[in-house]
Amino acid sequence: MNTILGIVFIIGIPFWLWMLTDAIIIEHKKRHHSSLWILFIALTFIIGALFYYFIKKKGSKK
């Protein structure tokens, strides 16, 4: 069980940082200064990063 959690965190932390920095850069470029996505990702960790990835990143490619 600890091994699985370790693997999730090793993979999750870089993904979380990637999504958090992406949200910061996108919100700054749009000049909306809406920090809701940034707060959501920061406070919910991997779950928030996954939501952001599938809603904002994948949704914008359609």
Please state the pTM of the whole predicted model.
0.80
Q: What is the pLDDT of residue 26?
A: 83
Tell me how many domains the chain contains: 1
pLDDT at 60 exceeding the cut of 80: no
- Domain with 38, as residue range(s), is 2-57
15 lies in a domain?
yes
62 lies in a domain?
no
Q: Can you tell me the distance from the alpha carbon of 31 to that of 13, in angstroms, rounded to the nearest whole number? A: 27
Q: How far is CA 31 from CA 3, 7, 24, 50, 58, in A?
A: 42, 36, 10, 23, 21
What would the pLDDT profile of 17-46 be if each residue is shown by its tens digit? 999 999 988 877 776 656 888 999 999 999
27 lies in a domain?
yes
Q: Which of 7, 26, 24, 15 is nearest to 49 (CA)?
A: 15
